[in-house]
Chain A
């Protein structure tokens, strides 16, 4: 979503993005004239009149589980967004019985928070597990 019109979105997709992604962008490119939606989400820059690089993870109940906002020159890490969605999906499936420690990605160990784990995380989780 940006403040550009849907016509500009079409031009961008036709003339540039479709040369990077076969068939063009598969998801909706949304237009937010005047930044009315961006303002509500806290990502509209009133001085510049544009939206910053905000990214919101919204779960199936419509609840915001996480967000990230960057200034314009730095691009996002899509892998990290996907990793976070996978983590939130696992938490949802296990109804909160499991938690994903720092550096978790699918296949890595999870933690089961409870009285026995208090003060004992060091026995099962090592700091090098925070890194790939």
Chain B
């Protein structure tokens, strides 16, 4: 039976139920650590492409297309998350 849950600012999420997902190989974890230390002020922002929506149109955006401009890149937990 479905349970009623309180909603907060973090969007409710699910995940695998039951048996635990096997741990990643050690090598993979190490690589992930290296990636997560890439962000530092004074260093280049990692380039990326992403699908987007703007003013009625679906678009594709690449960060490096904005070279020459100031960029504010904002992440957030999810649409409709209140604040």
Contacts and interface: CB of A to CB of B under 8 A. Distances in A.
Given A16-B80, A31-B51, 11 more contacts: A4-B78, A9-B53, A13-B53, A29-B52, A30-B51, A40-B48, A41-B39, A42-B39, A50-B77, A52-B75, A54-B75
Interface in A65-79: 65-67, 72-76
Contacts of B72: 55-58, 81, 85
Interface string B65-81: 01111111111111111
Interface string B32-55: 100110111111111110111111
Contacts, number: 164
Q: Could you say which interface size class chain B belongs to? A: 35 or more
B22 interface: no
A28 B78 contact: no
A43 B53 contact: no
Interface residues of A, number: 58
A46 B58 CA distance: 27
Interface of A: 1-4, 6, 8-13, 16, 23-32, 37-43, 48-67, 72-76, 81, 85, 88-89
